[in-house]
């Protein structure tokens, strides 16, 4: 296993030693943390200017960059990774770090005049990240546990291409009727109802069987219930959290098998 962990720390360094430290660390594709007083200029899709102040700056191995202020979940300035090039230099007693990328063409320039803490790392991180109950996960939950939607429901396919777009889940109910299911992980809007209605028409054009349309979501938006009645569609409550629970109870191997045969 290659070297990893904390590789170097500078406490209250001067600008010159910081430049040497940072330029080497970035060249070596390490993660660099810099806390200090800086100003930031961004030009690209828009343009922004951040006056001097103390911030946390992170330079990652993929070229991505984050500038964080003392409050707020979102970075005040940033640069996505990928084709971003980062380099640093000394200019008149200050440290200037430039990050530039093309497509879209944009650049972030950070100028430090005082540093409080600078560190570099190689983060060893192979841990899996799994997210449950996205819209896709809700589809899967209905497939592996159809009673979440309705008793006796038997799914046939999912993400099936029908002309106007995609049907989330397609199946049969206990009486043998075709069922088209549109799943939303948030409050379903009128657009969702109209979308489902278009699907239904496309399906009905290809069969003489009775076709039911079910909008499955945790909630219904304003006036959508009325619209569903008008369109001859049904609403079914579907809770993202219960979908997540249903998925957790299924071993991933079984889930993989299910989707292989689906």
Partner DNA sequence: AATTAAATTTCGCCT
Partner DNA sequence: AGGCGAAGTTTAATT
Point out which residues bind a second copy (CB under 8 A): 4-6, 9, 11-12, 31, 33, 35, 39, 43, 45-56, 58, 60-62, 64-66, 68-73, 76, 78-81, 116-117, 119, 121-134, 137, 185, 240-241, 244, 248
Number of residues lying near DNA (CB under 7 A):
31
Q: Which of 47, 43, 23 is nearest to 97 (CA)?
A: 23
**Alpha carbon separation from 36 to 9, 61, 203, 204, 227 (Å, rounded):** 14, 20, 61, 64, 56
Is residue 44 near DNA by the rule CB under 7 A?
yes
Is residue 80 near DNA by the rule CB under 7 A?
yes
Q: Residue 41 or residue 114: which is nearer to DNA going by CB? A: 41
Site string for DNA, 165-184 (x = CB under 7 A): x------------------x
Is residue 106 near DNA by the rule CB under 7 A?
yes
d(CA 106, CA 79): 9
Binds DNA by CB under 7 A, chosen from 113, 204, 221, 244: 221
d(CA 179, CA 35): 57
Task: State in angstroms the smallest separation of the CB of 120 from DNA.
Answer: 22
Is residue 48 near DNA by the rule CB under 7 A?
yes
Question: CB-based contacts of 181: which residues, under 8 Å, 6+ apart?
Answer: 142, 149, 167, 168, 169, 170, 171, 214, 215, 216
Q: Which helix (H) or strand (E) holds 23?
A: helix 15-27
Q: Residue 15 or residue 55: which is nearer to DNA going by CB? A: 55
Q: Are 86 and 63 in contact (CB under 8 A)?
A: yes
Q: Are 155 and 258 in contact (CB under 8 A)?
A: no
Q: Residue 17 or residue 83: which is nearer to DNA going by CB? A: 83
Q: Residue 221 or residue 234: which is nearer to a second copy going by CB? A: 221
What's the token pair of residue 241?
């959290």
Q: Residue 79 or residue 97: which is nearer to DNA going by CB? A: 79
Contact residues for DNA, defined by CB under 7 A? 42, 44-46, 48, 72-80, 106, 108, 131, 134-136, 159, 161, 165, 184-187, 189-190, 221-222
């Amino acid at each position: 296993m290659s070297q990893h962990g904390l590789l170097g720390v500078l406490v209250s360094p001067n600008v010159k030693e910081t430049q040497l430290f940072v330029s080497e660390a970035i060249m070596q594709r390490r993660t660099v943390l810099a806390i200090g007083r800086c100003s930031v200029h961004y030009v690209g899709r828009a343009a922004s200017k951040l006056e001097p102040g103390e911030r946390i700056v992170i330079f990652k191995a993929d070229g991505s960059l984050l500038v964080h202020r003392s409050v707020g979940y979102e970075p005040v300035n940033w640069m996505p990774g990928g084709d971003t090039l980062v380099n640093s230099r000394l200019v008149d007693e200050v440290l200037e770090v430039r990050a530039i990328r093309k497509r879209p063409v944009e650049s972030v320039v950070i100028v430090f005049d005082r540093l409080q803490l600078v560190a570099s790392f190689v983060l060893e991180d192979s841990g899996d990240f799994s997210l449950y109950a996205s819209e896709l996960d809700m589809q899967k939950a209905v497939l592996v546990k159809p009673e979440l939607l309705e008793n006796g429901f038997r799914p046939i396919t999912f993400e099936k291409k029908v002309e106007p777009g995609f049907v989330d889940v397609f199946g049969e109910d206990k009486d043998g009727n075709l069922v088209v299911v549109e799943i939303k992980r948030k409050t379903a809007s009128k657009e969702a109802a109209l979308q489902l209605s278009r699907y239904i028409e496309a399906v009905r054009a290809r069969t003489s069987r009775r076709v039911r349309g079910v909008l499955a979501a945790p909630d219904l938006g304003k006036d959508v219930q009325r619209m569903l009645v008008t369109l001859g569609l049904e609403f079914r409550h579907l809770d993202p959290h219960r979908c997540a629970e249903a998925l957790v109870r299924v071993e991933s191997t079984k889930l993989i098998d299910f989707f292989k045969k689906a």
